[in-house]
Amino acid sequence: MTMTLPFSPTRPVAPLAGPTLSPSVNAWVAEMRDLLQPDEVHWCSGTAAEFDQLTKQMVREGSLIRLNPEWRPNSFLARSDPRDVARSEESTFICSRRPEDAGVTNNWRAPATMKAKLTELFRGSMRGRTMYVVPFSMGPLGSSLSKLGVQITDSPYAVISMQIMTRMGAEAVRQLGPDTEWVAALHSVGSPLVDDAGVRREDVAWPCSDTKYIAHFPETREIWSYGSGYGGNSLLGKKCFALRIASVIARDEGWLAEHMLIIKATSPEGVTRHLAAAFPSACGKTNFAMLQPTLPGWKVETIGDDIAWLRPDDDGRLRAINPERGFFGVAPGTGEATNPTAVATIWGNTIFTNVALAEDGDVWWEGLTDRAPKGLVDWEGNPWTAGEPATAAHPNGRFTVPAEQCPSIADEWNDPKGVVIDAILFGGRRATNIPLVCEATDWEHGVFLGATLASEQTAAAEGHVGTLRYDPFAMLPFCGYDMGDYWQHWLQMGERLGEHAPRIFQVNWFRKGADGSFLWPGYGENSRVLDWIMRRLNGEVGTVASPAGGLPKRAEFALAGLDLPTAAWDELFRIDPAAWLRESEQTAEFFDRVGATVPKALRLRLTLLRWDLVSRL
């Protein structure tokens, strides 16, 4: 399938500057125009010309800086308001009819109350601005796995970002027939340019509001986001639709919407497998999605870096698509040493947000190169010199880039059929307890591993587990319904998939030795773990049973060429029953917090694990 990129219009798409064939879309747009009172309405076509016109306008108005085209063609820097730099979890709400459907891990408000409050905030919120109508497809156009949405926004930054991150514009409009289901995604930065008295004021580079609400209405499949221009709060196709709303749709329709990357791995023997992997934020997910194997003969290709939609196919196998079309990656820490593929991806056609600007008109951030270039301007627009306590780029500085530019992108990434998933990986950032890799004994154990996925918050003293931040399935901020019900849905999916269910593994690149240093080199060397997982799938290697699951046998693990002392290997896989018991107490507390909906099967797993550990003391 050909796609039309905003930057290389190989297939010009006629702008569709008018209402769609969907009466419900047209009626909603008209209703919103009356509520929001914009100066103008612009139906987005998704063409290169539109991207060019919008970016030129934003440069003129001071909300984008064009980077030096010699270094970074067709690329821009946006600097946000310093109070609008990340997802605002405290302002994020699941407004299901019943509070118990949102569960204790989400903020809940009654839909009617939230809508009444937000309707007043949205009333007139686009005065003096243009209201953009952004029809978009999450997933390849026309795929039975894809879903459609329409975002209304007054942020041109959101428009150009949605153009990169989704299949947006006229081609999405063509998918919207009279009866097509779609998700309504309303967004305003909450900063009207004309007040109630009709007085107009000057705009600022990054308009936003101190009042922020990112509200989801799962039953009616709606998103209302107010007050923030930042990516996760304003590119509504991503976390809001593809995870929070889609997880509810997936529960209702019998599939899975997950915070998972998708890769295609090919062994030296030419065996190809597809893997999906969930990692909490800041655990090297993009690096793994673009892994450059150190093991000779291996190839890893990228299908998605953040979100996977997985659905059983007619043969009963689990198929996945990446519903996105671009990467919204964290810039700091991305460099030649850590992720050369990402560095190559962002050669041009990229929107950077909250990173530093160099003298030569290119961008920079901590970790891009070892030494900072001279004459930097930091993410807030102030001169910056190396050695200052504050960083030059905001730690959550981002790049937004078309996936198609990624040198490791797999041919199948845009395939409407998706790819069959052979294995699912869960990985947290754990200094203690969790081995480098282990295999779940069965699907139910895999769900237990996903449900108890955690990162260690505080440094762990020797023999002690640090405080764990549980991030089940890496979905804590993204699951649109009750967490216990979500685990139950996973268990049911396993029953349905039966023998076709992908195998489940847990990985941990971050285990530390007694001296506090990492035991495993990580990055490209993670291909050794992938090699073991692939050989498990092929039935070529065995496991050693442990409370964690099946562990690799050292003799069967590809260690050649790696300077890993035996003591480090032992430590990477050491199970200390006392420390595991202490961890299991934290898990029990976490299950109690999630409450009565925790599936009995998972509680029983925990009990059995604890008996096993006690017997090993």
d(CA 244, CA 96): 12
Give me the least distance between CB of 306 and Mn ion, in Å please. 4
Quick one: which H or E segment has residue 35? Answer: helix 23-36
CB of 387 to ligand OXD, least distance (A): 29
Q: 471 is in the binding site of which of Mn ion, ligand OXD, none (Cβ under 5 to 8 A by kind)? A: none
Output the CA–CA distances (angstroms, integers) from residue 604 to 435, 480, 588, in the order listed: 22, 26, 11
The 8-class DSSP code of residue 426 comes to E
Q: Which does 301 bind (CB under 5 to 8 A by kind): ligand OXD, Mn ion, none?
A: none
Residues 6+ away with beta carbon under 8 Å from 601: 444, 447, 491
By CB under 5 A, the residues from 516 to 575 that bind Mn ion are: none
User: Rg for the chain (alpha carbons), in Å?
Assistant: 24
Q: Which is nearer to ligand OXD, 135 or 477 (CB)?
A: 477
Could you give the 3-state DSSP secondary structure of residue 507? strand
Q: How far is the CB of 324 from Mn ion (least distance, A)?
A: 10
- Give me the residues paired with residue 284 across strands: none
CB nearer to ligand OXD: pick between 166 and 584: 166
Count residues near ligand OXD (CB under 6 A). Answer: 3
The CB-side HSE value for 588 (13 A sphere, CA atoms) comes to 12
Closest CA to 426 of 494, 486, 492, 503: 503
Using CB atoms within 10 Å of the CB of residue 68, give its burial: 0 to 12 exposed, 13 to 18 middle, 19+ buried.
middle
Among 306, 362, 456, 482, binds ligand OXD (CB under 6 A): 306
168 contacts: CB under 8 Å, gap ≥ 6: 44, 46, 134, 135, 136, 137, 162
In the complex, minimum distance from the CB of residue 281 to ligand OXD, in angstroms, rounded to a whole number: 4
Q: Phi and psi of 282, rounded to 5°? A: 65, 35
Q: CA 508, CA 305: separation in Å to the nearest integer?
A: 18
**Contact characters 301-330, Mn ion, x per CB under 5 A:** -----x------------------------
Closest approach of ligand OXD to the CB of residue 571, in Å: 29
In the numeric block, which tokens belong to residue 158? 């959101």
Distance CA 345, CA 529 (A): 25
DSSP output for 76-88: EEE---TT--S--
455 binds, among Mn ion, ligand OXD, none (CB under 5 to 8 A by kind): none
From the list ligand OXD, Mn ion, none, pick the one residue 232 interacts with, judged by a Cβ distance below 5 to 8 Å according to partner type: ligand OXD
- Measured CA to CA, the distance from residue 24 to residue 156 in angstroms comes to 24
Nearer to ligand OXD, 286 or 432 (CB): 286
Q: Would you say the C-alpha torsion 473, 476, 482, 483 has a positive or negative sign?
A: positive
Stretch that binds Mn ion, among 30-38, 99-107, 300-308, 514-522 (CB under 5 A): 300-308
> Of 36-44, 66-74, 198-206, 299-307, which part binds Mn ion (CB under 5 A)?
299-307
Q: How far apart are CA 229 and CA 16, in angstroms?
A: 26
Instruction: End-to-end CA distance of the chain: give it in Å, rounded.
Output: 58
Q: Between β-strands 272-278 and 260-266, what pairing exists: parallel, antiparallel or unpaired?
A: antiparallel
Q: What is the smallest separation between the CB atom of 510 and ligand OXD, expressed in angstroms?
A: 17
Q: How far apart are CA 187 and CA 184, in angstroms?
A: 10
Asked if residue 154 binds Mn ion (CB under 5 A), the reply is no
**How far is CA 357 from each of CA 62, 83, 203, rounded to the nearest angstrom?**
15, 20, 23
Q: Which is nearer to ligand OXD, 306 or 456 (CB)?
A: 306
- Catalytic, 283? Answer yes
281/339 with CB nearer ligand OXD: 281
Minimum Å gap between C-beta 259 and Mn ion is: 6
Active-site residue (options: 95, 283, 438, 479): 283
Q: Which is nearer to ligand OXD, 285 or 503 (by Cβ)?
A: 285
Nearer to ligand OXD, 260 or 491 (CB): 260
Asked if 281 touches ligand OXD (CB under 6 A), the answer is yes
CB 590, min distance to ligand OXD, A: 20
Residue with smaller CB distance to ligand OXD, 50 or 84: 84
Mask for 215-254, x = binds ligand OXD (CB under 6 A): -----------------x----------------------
Answer with the entry of Mn ion, ligand OXD, none that 101 interacts with (C-beta below 5 to 8 A by kind).
none
428 binds, among ligand OXD, Mn ion, none (CB under 5 to 8 A by kind): none
Q: Which is nearer to ligand OXD, 232 or 552 (CB)?
A: 232
Residue closest to ligand OXD (Cβ): 281
Least gap, CB of 228 to Mn ion (angstroms): 17
Distances (CA, A) of 32 to 134, 192, 429: 13, 15, 43
Tokens of 27: 């009626």
Binding to Mn ion in span 387-406, by CB under 5 A: none
Q: Is 482 in the site for Mn ion (CB under 5 A)?
A: no
Partner that binds at residue 81, options ligand OXD, Mn ion, none, CB closer than 5 to 8 Å by kind: none
Q: Three-state DSSP class for 484?
A: helix
3-state helix, strand, coil in the chain (%, to 5): 30, 20, 45
Count of residues that bind Mn ion according to CB under 5 A: 1
CA atoms within 13 A on the CB side of 400: 24
Write down the least CB distance from residue 137 to ligand OXD, Å. 20
Max intra-chain CA distance, the chain: 78
Contacts with ligand OXD, residue ranges (CB under 6 A): 232, 281, 306
Contacts with Mn ion, residue ranges (CB under 5 A): 306
Catalytic positions are: 283
